[in-house]
Structure 1
Amino acid sequence: MIEIRNDWTKEEIADIYHSPLLDLIYRAGTIHRLNEDYAEVQISSLISIKTGGCSEDCSYCPQSARYQTGVQVHAMLTVDQVTNAAVIAKEGGASRLCMGAAWREVRDNRDFDRVIEMVKAVNELDMEVCATLGMLTESQAQKLADAGLYAYNHNIDTSEDDYKRIITTRTFDDRLKTIDNVRKAKITVCSGGIIGLGETDNDRISMLQTLSNMAKHPESVPINALVAIKGTPLEDQKPVPIWDMVRMIATARIIMPKSVVRLSAGRNEMSMTDQALCFMAGANSIFAGDKLLTTPNPEFNEDMKMFEILGLKPREAFKKGRPANTEQKEIIAPII
Structure 2
Amino acid sequence: MRRKGITLVELLVVMVIVALSAGGIFFAYRSLVKETIRQSLFAKNEQDVEVLLTSLRKDINGMGFGVPVDRLNVGTPACDGLTAFSGSNSVVGLALNCPSGGDELYFLNLATRSLRNSGCWWVRDGSGNVATEGRRWTLEDCPNSPPAGENLICLDVASKAIANCNSPNTLIFTMGDRTSIGDFAVRYYLSNTNLPRECAPGTFNLLKQVNGDAVAQPIASCVAVFRVRYFDGQSYDATIGDINNLRAIRLCLLMQVGGRMDTQMDPPNGFEQCGNIVINPEWRWYRWKLVEEDIPLRNIRR
TM-score, normalised to structure 2's length? 0.26
* Structure-1-length-normalised TM-score: 0.24
Higher relative contact order, chain-length normalized (CA < 8 Å, sep 6+): 1
Q: Which structure shows the bigger proportion of residues in strand conformation?
A: 2
